[in-house]
Amino acid sequence: MNHFQTILTQVRMLLSSHRPSQVQALLDNLLAEELLSREYHYALLQEPDGEALARKISLTLMEKGDPELALLGWVWSGLPTSAAEKDPGYKDLGGSGQCATMELGPIEGGYLELLNSNADPLQLYHLCDRMDVAGEEETELYSEPDTDTINCEQFSRLLCAMEGDEETKEAYANIAELDQYVFQDSQLEGLSKDIFIEHIGLEEMIGESVEVLEEAGQKSQKRPFPEELPADLKHRKLAEPLTMPMVTDTFLVGPVSDSLAQPCPAPPALFNKESASSQTRLEDTVLMPGPPSSSLLSCFSLPAGSIQIIPTVSTLPQGLWQISGAGAGLSSIVIYRGEMPQASQTPTSSGQPVHNFPKSPDRPGSTSPFAPSAADLPSMPEPALTSRANLTEDETSPTQSPAALKPSSQLPRWPESVEQFCRSLRDKYQAKPAGPEGILVEVDLVRVRLERSSSKGQERELATLDWTERQPARGGLAEVLLATSDRRRPRETRVIAVLGKAGQGKSHWAQAVSWAWACGQLPQYDFVFCIPCHCLDRRGDTYLLQDLLFSPGLQPRPVEDEVFSYILRRPDRILLILDAFEELETQDGFLHSACGPGSAEPRSLRGLLAGLFQRKVLRGCTLLLTARPRGRLAQSLSKADAMFEVAGFSAQQAETYVLRYFEASGAAEHQKRALALLQAQPSLLSHSHSPTVCRAVCQLSEALLELGDEAELPSTLTGLYVGLLGPAAHDSPPGALVGLARLAWDLGRRHHSSLREDQFPSAEVRAWAVARGLVQPTRGGPETELAFSSFLLQCFLGALWLALSSEIKDKELPQYLALTPRKKRPYDNWLEGVPRFLVGLVFQPRPRCLGALVGLAAATSADRKQKVLTRYLKRLQPGTLQAGRLLELLHCAHEALDAGLWQHVLHGLPARLSFLGARLSPPDTYVLGSALEAAGRNFSLDLRSTGIDPTGLGTLVGLSCVTHFSPVIVPGSEALPPQGHLE
């Protein structure tokens, strides 16, 4: 018996034995395991009683207590596939026929498929209506006493019979209300505006505002029908009952944007008189209680489009309910029933006071990075983030009265403890780091994918994409966060990975996301938790979700149970960022850890992570990971729904950073000179592709410029770090630098970057290292935990230890260059910057290098190491090295500043150089170009699949010594022949 049959047998057994809770548990499992998939659904429908069974399953889903599933289950249980397929309007449910996801024709059948689809229940209601009048056959479907089909009445009975807690009752009650609303909506057709105003008794109450709305409505453009239906049907209680007695049970139906978080945008764009009375198909819809006072209307953020006011039932519990992404062009439905406030209040999707998004006078960039304009945030166009459908500021702002701009803090949507927690979380993310850490240069995020690292093995690594294949996330953060919406069912956890090398800006980006949320830019999330993984305590036996979300030191205040239970209720409104996920790489395999939905809550960090990844714990949240894509981590990431890479700085962005750095450090007078220093060192400029290096360059430039105008930057990375550490070494306690170097190496070998107080050689050394900024407190970790201020600094210190230590045997030294492959590597080169720093430290002239750090006497211990490495490097045959290692050799030779070594390497370069599939970053391109130019021979290059940027490509193929090159097409380079012949 195959898996499907086994499941089916179980389902049948449980259904026939009337054990709905067990069916629920089973279905829960199936949903979680993604087994209610298209294939299984299809197989189900092939069964003789497939449709009936599907209906039963739908019915059972209703009992799951999940309002969304219940609603969907109910709607679709009454919609037999065969009938739907016969309906001529089946493919045209969107009315305009533009709605791709509503073209249900090709899908294999009904209920479960629909449950998994983006289809809009409202449209399905319309379909049901049509089928009612379309012919006997369809009518029969509803009239025959089919026990498998549940109708409205049966559903009501079911509700009555239902026992359970208040919350469940409330949820079902709201489903019932929705049902009523939808049916009544169909009765609305042809309702004239007069009737509709009369019906709700609004005329005098709306008064002026309706006129204003109408006038503007004539100008307003009807919104185009969206091409894709929103993926999600969200049912959401937005507000607790308000205070003014309600006059009628009437909903105002009209457009609403997702931007409820915006303070009271302009009503004039809202109202379309004609469509208000005759609209037969809902577009964006607001359901509000009648009578909407003018103040209330002026407070809703409604994009251009039509409004309908329809009567509705009186039984809907008080409160404001939002169904966002409801489909069929509905960006949101908001239902309000209850007592109306007199005062102008702005409901927000977050329940937070709404502040205008900080603007800088000279957009696009804000002068203050922590009062960001949209352009300051990482690739986040303001409209995308705030979902302001087609509204410009100009359209909205003139109509905003000061009262309307009042934040919605008066609106008691959440319990006080939740409000407070949310506020303090926002305050925390908004807190502005002082100095250069507060700078934010907008960088690209580019889509990436994994590919097999070899044809045989299962291991995967990041694919190196050609420049033409690059897909920057043009929509910015919004695009990143929505990247998975087409892949997952509603309410399914979305896993997004943001990758990048050490120092490339991943944490900075993650902080900017939190910061964007704190500034009100991500209204789709009620809470954002940004958790640096290094501070997760993996030692404890017990680890619960609370421990993860509310790690001490991370969250601003002690967290009450009420807050946690609130979070559990709406996981889909949680963005969980696990920053520096590679810190947990020892947890690999967690994807396969046990964490069944039926099992008890996971009790270990490993189990918890497994649960999150398997989309069982906090199911429906957005899980955003940032990580260095190394080693086995890539395997884990293959489960991610979307992957992006932080692109690093272009030369222009590096220059922008330099300018901002000197501005932020109050030395704007040095800006130009600092730029000139950097431009004079093209090697460092290319390394400034890494924001970490760019920052180090600025620090050294700052120090040099304070000394006088004669300043000059070194030409190597080694020189850069020697320049930064030299002064610190001068005033250090005896042996402090070497002690710290040893720590850096020891920790790095174990893949650690953070260190405890008691690991320092002495309290004095610790105090010195902190004072000199070599180590710093970890973000979110315990106060006693420190970390090297950058990974590159740790690499430099690790190399310093190797260069000086007498404990490293001569014959072992070459292995730390990681240039030759070894079957069983004793050293995995986790500290990947070590090889070039080691060569730099050992080869560069003593007085300006090692001697400047530890004194000339101590530096002589490197003489022997230099001989060993020279022997090794001179025996290496560059032509036999694989592309990545050849590039590393070139970097090492460059760092050495040793003419003999450099010439030796150049001499060994083969005339045909293939970098196929190896990543060529800007510093790689620079060092390769320098080598080719200096070699004095002609070369042929294969640059395919190297991701080389157009500038780098231009530089390389522009070299007179490059006479042939393989086809690389970059935008704007069409003039280049497909196979380069440059002779």
Give 441 or 704: the residue with its C-beta nearer to ligand ATP. 441
User: In whole angstroms, how close is the CB of 668 to ligand ATP at the nearest point?
Assistant: 17
Tokens matching residue 597: 């939905």
Give 444 or 898: the residue with its C-beta nearer to ligand ATP. 444
Residue in the structure block whose two tokens are 């090794």: 872
Give dist(CA 821, CA 835) in Å, integer. 14
User: In whole angstroms, how close is the CB of 4 to ligand ATP at the nearest point?
Assistant: 44
Give 181 or 791: the residue with its C-beta nearer to ligand ATP. 791
2: nearest Cα among 43, 32, 30: 43
Give 66 or 583: the residue with its C-beta nearer to ligand ATP. 583
The kind and range of the H/E element at 451 are: strand 450-452
Give 231 or 510: the residue with its C-beta nearer to ligand ATP. 510
Give 589 or 773: the residue with its C-beta nearer to ligand ATP. 773
Give the number of other CB atoms < 10 A from CB of residue 189: 11
Q: Compute CA distances 684 → 713, 894, 953, whole Å.
A: 8, 12, 19
* Cα three-residue angle 356-362-368, rounded to 5 degrees: 65
User: In whole angstroms, how close is the CB of 550 to ligand ATP at the nearest point?
Assistant: 23
Give 210 or 496: the residue with its C-beta nearer to ligand ATP. 496
Give dist(CA 225, CA 804) in Å, integer. 69
Residue 574's contacts (CB-CB under 8 Å, 6 or more residues apart) are: 525, 526, 527, 528, 529, 567, 618, 621, 622
Give dist(CA 893, CA 935) in Å, integer. 13
Give 106 or 666: the residue with its C-beta nearer to ligand ATP. 666
Give the number of other CB atoms < 10 A from CB of residue 305: 29
Contact residues for ligand ATP (CB under 6 A)? 437, 439-441, 443, 500, 502-508, 580, 628, 657, 691-692, 695, 791
Give 77 or 778: the residue with its C-beta nearer to ligand ATP. 778
Give 517 or 791: the residue with its C-beta nearer to ligand ATP. 791
User: In whole angstroms, how close is the CB of 501 to ligand ATP at the nearest point?
Assistant: 7
The kind and range of the H/E element at 678 are: helix 671-679
Residue nearest to ligand ATP (CB): 505
Give 292 or 503: the residue with its C-beta nearer to ligand ATP. 503
Give 776 or 784: the residue with its C-beta nearer to ligand ATP. 776
Q: In what order do the strands lie in the sheet with 912-914?
A: 912-914, 939-942, 962-965, 980-981
Residue in the structure block whose two tokens are 């906090």: 618
Strand partners, 333: 285, 323
User: In whole angstroms, how close is the CB of 747 to ligand ATP at the nearest point?
Assistant: 14
Give dist(CA 662, CA 702) in Å, integer. 8
Q: 729-738 burial, b for 16+ CB within 10 Å, e for fewer?
A: beebbeebbb
User: In whole angstroms, how close is the CB of 758 to ligand ATP at the nearest point?
Assistant: 24
Give 41 or 660: the residue with its C-beta nearer to ligand ATP. 660
Q: Are 831 and 788 in contact (CB under 8 A)?
A: no
Alpha-carbon torsion (958, 959, 964, 968), positive or negative: negative
Give 325 or 505: the residue with its C-beta nearer to ligand ATP. 505
Give dist(CA 510, CA 249) in Å, integer. 45
Give 505 or 798: the residue with its C-beta nearer to ligand ATP. 505
User: In whole angstroms, how close is the CB of 127 to ligand ATP at the nearest point?
Assistant: 49
347: nearest Cα among 359, 332, 358: 332
User: In whole angstroms, how close is the CB of 534 to ligand ATP at the nearest point?
Assistant: 9
Give dist(CA 889, CA 902) in Å, integer. 10
Q: What backbone torsions phi and psi does residue 626 show, to the nearest 5 degrees?
A: -115, 140
Give dist(CA 774, CA 740) in Å, integer. 9
User: In whole angstroms, how close is the CB of 901 to ligand ATP at the nearest point?
Assistant: 30
User: In whole angstroms, how close is the CB of 378 to ligand ATP at the nearest point?
Assistant: 7
Q: Are 654 and 678 in contact (CB under 8 A)?
A: yes
User: In whole angstroms, how close is the CB of 369 to ligand ATP at the nearest point?
Assistant: 8
Give 357 or 791: the residue with its C-beta nearer to ligand ATP. 791
Q: 609-633 burial, b for 16+ CB within 10 Å, e for fewer?
A: bbbbbbbbbbbbbbbbbbbbbbeeb
User: In whole angstroms, how close is the CB of 532 to ligand ATP at the nearest point?
Assistant: 9
Residue 834's contacts (CB-CB under 8 Å, 6 or more residues apart) are: 748, 795, 798, 799, 802, 816
* Amino acid type, 570: R
527: nearest Cα among 423, 616, 432, 617: 423
Half-sphere exposure of 681 (CA within 13 A, CB side): 25
User: In whole angstroms, how close is the CB of 430 to ligand ATP at the nearest point?
Assistant: 17
User: In whole angstroms, how close is the CB of 649 to ligand ATP at the nearest point?
Assistant: 7
Give 234 or 501: the residue with its C-beta nearer to ligand ATP. 501
Q: Compute CA distances 311 → 116, 291, 730, whole Å.
A: 31, 11, 80
User: In whole angstroms, how close is the CB of 380 to ligand ATP at the nearest point?
Assistant: 12
DSSP-H helix ranges across 63-165: 67-77, 81-86, 111-116, 121-134, 136-143, 152-161
Give 691 or 851: the residue with its C-beta nearer to ligand ATP. 691
Give the number of other CB atoms < 10 A from CB of residue 676: 11
Q: Which DSSP state fits 106?
A: T
User: In whole angstroms, how close is the CB of 577 to ligand ATP at the nearest point?
Assistant: 12
Tokens matching residue 875: 């025996």
